Structure 1
Amino acid sequence: MNLSNVQLHNSFQSKNVIKVITGIHNTNIYQIAQIAKAADLAKASYLDVIANTKVVKFLKSFSSLPLCISSIDPIDIYNCISAGADLVEIGNYDTFYNKGVYITSFELVELIKEVKYLVGDIDLCVTIPYYFDLNEQIRLAQLLECLGVNIVQTEGIFTHNIHSLPKQLSVLTNSLSSSLLSTYFISKSVNIPVITSSGISSIFASTAINCGASGIGIGSAIRGRHNIVSMTKYLNEVKHCMFTNRIDLYQVKDYISINNISEQILSL
């Protein structure tokens, strides 16, 4: 592992990374400021924000946390790095999925090459698409490592109506059936850090670490809170759960049984 940002390098080495996601389409400056302040107070690892130069400059004016911008547009990425962003994430393919478009490994690699040409040796994270089978995900992760990608991230199953599902079902569908499974196998196949995202909450934070993740991405669970105090409290809860309330796979099965959730959900 080799990250140019020393602050992030140390967090990834310790496997205690908490990435706070303000929302890849979120330009609500008031909410972004609240989330950023809570992340600072809770000593999260870094912020992940929309690729918008105004948002980048605003956050860099008061937040001490490293700032990651998420985009699939090379020009937006270049402009945000010029505005002061510290690292780049290629992922959040929701725009594609909404149009029924699924990027191929070849297209993703070409996009990464273009981004690296534009921004040089900036720290780079790439999300592995969930719809590749596990063998393809592993091969892609290994190729990304060879290309100089610093971090890979796993994602959960994309579901249009995920917010209309029961709470337990949405968590299990998004996280356990896809993102955690990918984390487990990819982390054993590469020497770069893996972040688990897509629906991860405090209850499954430690499970992600047990599956080989170096950290987690927290987004919707934070944005659903309406003030800095509750956001900070939740992030501190996540940090606590990552290391003191570890849940192994047997405990997860018990959780499913107690809540009468069919184990077939895990195969979705």
Structure 2
Amino acid sequence: MKLTPKEIVELHGFNNLTKSLSFNMFDICYTRTQEEREAYINYIDEVYSADRLQKILSHVTEIIGAHILNIAKQDYEPQGASVTMLVSEGPVHEAKPEHFEESPGPIPQGSFVVGTLDKSHITVHTYPEYHPTAGISTFRADIDVSTCGEISPLKALNYLIHSFETDVMTIDYRVRGFTRDVTGHKLFIDHDINSIQNYIPDDVQEYYDMIDVNVYQENIFHTKCKLRNFDLNNYLFGYTKDTLSKEEQETIARQIKLEMDEIFYGKNISRDI
């Protein structure tokens, strides 16, 4: 979705505004045994490996119209991955192929990819985990897209939503700093926005219950999303609900819905289920 400019203004030098998008997604699964929990973690690590995350972030870079300067990525032991990219608004001719870096060697715990831009960056970190006794396993991915200049991370939001299996999302967007016009007048934001929901397509919004918490005077915008329709089969790992008794189905459904509510509202809720 195209950002709406507040007004056409001639700037003094480079646009110094920093636009930061933080996208956190959560996938929830019911895993009955230790073997199922370990299998779920292995599945997540395979589907969202550092190589796969790098491809996602590279496409994000294309969507926002940036250029990759540097990439660092890592698959962790026993689980998780990270990628980081540095990017630039325009091509940087002095950036040579040998500047491409991949972090060598194993690093304990998790995985990551980092991409760097010219004063801008894109990162993703994954966090698979499971409850030791309740049968709940979760996967969290934290994606941060921070840009300066004319490029905007909001353009990639729809693609990011579709790139992950998402039951709960929390999305934060903030414009920081200021830039100046030719008269020296400060500009603290350069486009109109009143909600992150404006950048989520209607067909996606139909699937989620959504809450906004916005601080307009600080250019801070926050949206939380929870999947609206519930199908127990989508939360069972390796089997379907018709293999369970009705009582088992109801108990598991309550556990999963409770987990979703606690993540969505950011607090523990009574587990008298």
Q: Larger C-alpha radius of gyration, 1 or 2?
A: 2
TM > 0.5: no
More helix by share: 1
More strand by share: 2
TM tier, smaller: under 0.3
TM-score normalised by the chain length of structure 1: 0.25
TM-score normalised by the chain length of structure 2: 0.25
